[in-house]
Amino acid sequence: MGRGKIQLKKIENRISRQVTFSKRRNGLLKKAYELSVLCDVEMGLIVFSPRGKLYEFSSPCMQKILERYKKYSQESGISITTKEQDSQYLNREITNIEERINILESSQRKMLGECLESCSLKEIIHLESQAERGLSLIRARKNDILEDQIQQLERKCVDLQHQHDWVWTTPTLGLGSMQPVK
């Protein structure tokens, strides 16, 4: 029978919490030992119980591991200031991007004819010329699409005529009629 999922939250029952702590602590210490032996790593694990009792595992020596950690932390202290500078730079970038977004959103609202009360005559004339340029580009694109569709339909018509062996003839009345070729 498999174990069911447990919800990660504080165990309210004090006795159950102590039993769980003991079992999981022992499992954690066992895994730390296995990891140090199997992978030949230097490892330190420190656990304080709810009552303040210390449990530790170290390979080879906790003092050496703590000294090495302290040395590494001091060496990487240089990178902490770099990280702070990076963080400040990113915060400035975020602020700049937010400002640009606000400007673009305002510009978009104005292009849609909203919030024009704050615009000067010069700004409105500029918006109008932008709208006219945009409209002419839209119309040109629409005409290109329609011309392409017309050409496709004309090709389709010619293909259908060839498929069904029909030819266009013009009678004396000047109206087109279709007759099969014999």
d(Cα 99, Cα 159) in Å, to the nearest integer? 57
pLDDT, one tens digit per residue, over 53-83 is 998 999 888 888 888 888 887 776 656 667 7
95-118 mean pLDDT: 89
- pLDDT at residue number 1: 55
Domains of the chain with CATH codes: 14-75 (3.40.1810.10), 80-162 (no CATH)
What's this model's pTM, rounded to 2 decimal places? Answer: 0.40
pLDDT, one tens digit per residue, over 133-165 is 999 999 999 999 999 999 999 999 888 888 875
With 60 as the cut, is the pLDDT of residue 167 above it? no
- pLDDT at residue number 170: 46
With 70 as the cut, is the pLDDT of residue 173 above it? no
pLDDT, one tens digit per residue, over 14-56 is 899 899 999 999 999 999 999 999 999 999 999 998 888 998 9
